[in-house]
Amino acid sequence: MHRLFYPSQYVPSIFDINISELERRGIKGIIFDLDNTIIERGAPEFTADVVQWLNALKERGFKIAIVSNNRTRTAERMAEEAGIPAVFNAVKPRRTPFKAALSMMGTKPRETAVVGDQVFTDVVGGNRLGMFTILTVPMKGKEFIGTTLITRQLERLFMPRIRRRVGLSRRPGRD
Ligand SMILES: [Mg+2]
């Protein structure tokens, strides 16, 4: 299996991201996918624990941005309200939207992590630019029909290999 399909890490949720480890690796910016990574697709608001976690990252000194293939008004409003710079209608895994996020954050690819729930968009996109990629188990929101039919089926073929090679890492203290 091609190296572009392997994330650097695989975690149950964004809350399992190990902040100290990212700092040790020299990561200064984090690009988040939106749907089913930091919000259940279709939900109107971020949950309080997500907002708290994103704020904790900012307070710790990380720049954050959202890169999403979504382009709804709701998504735009949510990013605005949370004060997070965002690139919508991104057509991941194309490099252009990730590069736009890098310039919004002022970070280089080597100092940037990409966090998302899909191998073919988030992980491949981040890996193409040499960023640190973190695959999350998808949240339970409804999925875009195209995602369910094709992408998830394909992912199913890859997941056993990702689990074997990368493993699922939980943050200590979380169950
Ligand atoms: Mg997603």
Name the CATH superfamily, with its identifier, for domain 3-165: HAD superfamily/HAD-like (3.40.50.1000)
Confidence tier at 174 by pLDDT (50, 70, 90): low
- Residue ranges of domains in the chain: 3-165
Percent pLDDT > 90 in the chain is 77
The predicted pLDDT at position 81 comes to: 92
CA distance 166 to 84: 29
- State pTM to two decimals: 0.92
Mean pLDDT for 106-125 is 97
CA distance 69 to 53: 22
The predicted pLDDT at position 138 comes to: 92
How much distance in Å is there from the Cα of 143 to the middle of ligand 1? 9
How much distance in Å is there from the Cα of 87 to the middle of ligand 1? 14
How much distance in Å is there from the Cα of 17 to the middle of ligand 1? 16
Mean pLDDT for 82-110 is 96
CA distance 16 to 170: 5
Mean pLDDT for 143-168 is 82
How much distance in Å is there from the Cα of 86 to the middle of ligand 1? 14
How much distance in Å is there from the Cα of 126 to the middle of ligand 1? 13
Check: CB of residue 117 under 8 Å from CB of residue 123: no
Mean pLDDT for 35-56 is 93
CA atoms within 13 Å, Cβ hemisphere of 9: 21
Summary mean pLDDT of the chain:
92
CA distance 158 to 40: 23
Stretch among 21-25, 70-74, 154-158 having the lowest mean pLDDT: 154-158
The predicted pLDDT at position 154 comes to: 81
CA distance 131 to 112: 6
Confidence tier at 152 by pLDDT (50, 70, 90): confident
